[in-house]
Structure 1
Amino acid sequence: MKTEKEKMLAGEIYDCSAPELWERWHLAKRLQWEYNNTPSDDAGRLSALLDRLLGSRGEQVWISAPFLVDYGENIHLGHHVEINMDCVFLDCNRITIGDYTGIGPGVHIYTVFHPTDPGERRSANGPFWNSAALPVTIGNNVWIGGRSVILPGVTIGDGTTIGAGSVVTRSIPAHVVAAGNPCRVIRHL
């Protein structure tokens, strides 16, 4: 029988109030609070906190506070990644961001969603809804413009630029400029 965490990472409906998930969620909240309240010039402390918060990261990663996550451990960053302030990463499944990629201010990346059927959404375990989650993959040399929202299951190809304020509801190919709500390809590079 699968644990709730195994169901979560497999894209199945899961109960987010399961003790193993709840424990990591609380740890991530403590670590993000510490990160967001550490002086921006205390590189050693910031690095140590990211090592505990994130699943993995390459060299030369910069994340401007505030930075909010669900679990943190499902976030995997490549080399030379810059994440600007006010970003929210709901990492109930894997979020992978490639090398030399920039994430603008206020970008939200969601891996989690809820069933549309109200009966499936309700949980017997408190106020939390049942959830499901799909991974998000962002390639190398990508720029995500500020205040964009990336929805569960999306892949953004290498060398692509997503215009500010876009809502990315489906995968976007490599080497294009895409923007809008819903986000769509404007031109090929």
Structure 2
Amino acid sequence: MTLSLPLTQELDTLISRLKLRRCRMVGASPTVLGRVWIHGEGEVCVGTRVVLDGRIAPIELHAQRGGRIVLEDEVTIEGGTSIEAQECVTVGARSRLGSWCKVMDNHYHPLRGNRHERPSSVPLLIEESVKVGSRAILLPGTHLQKGASVAPGTVVSRRIPADTAVGGWPARMIRREVVG
């Protein structure tokens, strides 16, 4: 017995919605491939046509109490990526996070002084149409403006201007796109 294409798509959407049941809001036509681990007492909001591809490794979305993770429309996140929010992490429309990325809005302990004292969180914003390469690390206070590109393995902790490509540790400008 073969299922018709629309029925198969509806079944895939239903399974994806089941995997996203811990989210506060889920837009139309989500796609979840493989495993996604959603935990914490905060909010996770998923937009329309978001793709979470956890086939190679699970994707972690961890919003702690009072924290919020927002994945806007048509975002793609690849396997092994972890997003942690104490306050707010926003991934803009049509952005893509490569595999094994780490995105967090809090360091969880200071580098100097009392290591048991938790520092305050700094919201992390990824605007629309941003591409983040695999194994990149986005630290608290990162602001990737529209069309920015982050090379694989790059560590970012500041604002990256629109249509700029960065790479290295710490992030340095590779090129500036000419829009016109």
TM-score, scaled to structure 1: 0.69
Structure 2 gaps, min length 5 = 1-10, 24-42
| 1:154-182 deviations in Å (ceiling 9; x for gaps) | 10000111111101121111011111111
Q: Does 1:75 align with 2:92?
A: no
76 and 86 in structure 1: CA distance in 2 versus 1, 3 angstrom threshold: same
Equivalent in 71, 80, 86 of residue 92 of structure 1: 86
2-side partners of 1:93 and 1:61: how far apart?
22
Following superposition, the deviation at residue 44 of structure 1 comes to 1.6
Q: Does 1:149 align with 2:140?
A: no
Q: How many residues align?
A: 142
2-side partners of 1:111 and 1:146: how far apart?
19
Identity %: 26
Decide which structure has greater helix share: 1
Check conservation: 2:44, 2:61, Cα contact below 8 A: no
Following superposition of structure 1 onto structure 2, how do residues 24-63 of structure 1 map, counting pairs within 5 Å? 42-53=12-23, 55-63=44-52
After superposing the two structures, state which structure 1 stretch, 55-64 or 140-149, moved more: 55-64
2-side partners of 1:164 and 1:84: how far apart?
13
Partner of 1:20: none
Partner of 1:115: 110
SS at structure 2 position matched to 1:45: helix
| 1:65-100 deviations in Å (ceiling 9; x for gaps) | 211133276110111110000001121121101111
Check conservation: 2:98, 2:134, Cα contact below 8 A: yes
Partner of 2:28: none
Which AA in structure 2 matches 1:183?
A
Bigger RCO of structures 1 and 2 (CA < 8 A, at least 6 apart): 1
Check conservation: 1:115, 1:132, Cα contact below 8 A: no
Decide which structure has greater strand share: 2
Check conservation: 1:61, 1:81, Cα contact below 8 A: yes
Structure 1 gaps, min length 5 = 1-40, 123-128
Following superposition, the deviation at residue 49 of structure 1 comes to 3.6
Following superposition, the deviation at residue 42 of structure 1 comes to 4.6
Check conservation: 1:112, 1:132, Cα contact below 8 A: yes
Partner of 2:164: 176
SS at structure 2 position matched to 1:164: coil
87 and 81 in structure 1: CA distance in 2 versus 1, 3 angstrom threshold: same
SS at structure 2 position matched to 1:89: strand
TM-score, scaled to structure 2: 0.72
Check conservation: 2:83, 2:104, Cα contact below 8 A: yes
| 1:35-88 deviations in Å (ceiling 9; x for gaps) | xxxxxx853232244252353221100112211133276110111110000001
78 and 51 in structure 1: CA distance in 2 versus 1, 3 angstrom threshold: farther
Which AA in structure 2 matches 1:67?
I
